[in-house]
Amino acid sequence: MKVLVLYGGDSPEREVSLASGKAVLEAASRCGFDVLDGCVETVKDVVRLMNERDCDVIFIALHGSWGEDGRLQAFLDFYDIPYTGSGSEACMLAMNKVLSKYRFQRDGIPTPDGVEANLFQEGINGACKKILEYYDYFLNGGKMVIKPARCGSTLGVSVITSSSDVYEAVQLASSYDSLIIAERYISGKEITVAVWDDDKPQAFPVIEIVPKNSLYSYKAKYTPGNSAYFVPAQLEDSIAKKAQEAALMAHISLGCGLYSRVDMRLDTQGNPYVLEVNTVPGLTSTSLVPKAAKAIGWDFDRFVKELIQNTLNKKL
């Protein structure tokens, strides 16, 4: 059985994707699959690979941009090629934090309130004015998160405590995306829940993340030793269950398939707030989904094998 692993890409998350792709290549090979190396940089590279190599399934390990926002998935759907993960619409909704927030609010899923700004329409000064008005009226000097709406790995994210910090934070976010989202900062714990969905979605154990610094930044995520992880999280059973239920609701709300990772903040009263859903979560040595899978007895090889086999089973 031939498995083409697509990884690399040209998004700001390329380095993470390279690590994920190499880990998947090695695991799939150990599981006995005929593995094809699909390190790509552009969409043209994907088209070239499709013409050059026959495969039974594609393992998507591309993070960000066209590899995760539904465009690649729509292309593969058109050619009727099975691939791991969610479909094109779910990927599009999950990648755009503005759209996913609207879905969460529609479906009664707790998520931080906020406001979005489109730099193409409003310009940076108009965006800053809009965000400042929201900050002054609703938050009254509290903490606020400003981030690009269509980027992952905590790139371009700022946590501000003063209106004087807004312009710099918007500038940073705008270096990654023209669509900016500002939302209330939820004081409490950083948690995440992986969802496994082979027709009946189930939540893996909750993971609590404790970064050395207050922000779970890119460096904190991908530099070994910069964050501590508790799997399962040290939470009361009722609070852990509430977080798992929120993760399942978010996964279903966006129409995700096979697997996802739902990132949340847990406030000081133990209430979960969904921040985002990742349809192509990281699969590196420090990544969260493999940690959650290990907590239910699946090592990394088993997890990769289950992804591939379930993708093929759904195609049959």
Residue pLDDT, tens place only, 133-142: 999 888 877 8
Active site residue 26: no
Annotated binding-site residue? 276: yes
Q: Give the per-residue pLDDT at 138.
A: 82
User: Catalytic pick from 11, 13, 17, 158?
Assistant: 13
Mean pLDDT estimate for the chain:
94
Burial letters 239-264, b for 16+ CB under 10 A, else e: bbebbbebbbbbbebbebbbbbbbbb
Annotated binding-site residue? 263: yes
Confidence of residue 218 (pLDDT cuts 50, 70, 90): confident
Distance CA 286, CA 276 (A): 19
Residue-range domains of the chain with CATH? 2-84 (3.40.50.20), 95-109+186-279 (3.30.470.20), 114-184 (3.30.1490.20)
Inter-residue contact 289 to 281 (CB < 8 Å): yes
User: Catalytic pick from 86, 158, 253, 287?
Assistant: 287
Question: Which is higher by pLDDT, 219 or 95?
Answer: 95
At 13, phi and psi to the nearest 5?
A: -95, 20
Confidence of residue 220 (pLDDT cuts 50, 70, 90): low
Q: Is the peptide bond before 232 cis (omega within 30 degrees of 0)?
A: yes
- Does the pLDDT of residue 215 top 90, yes or no? no
Active site residue 227: no
Active site residue 13: yes
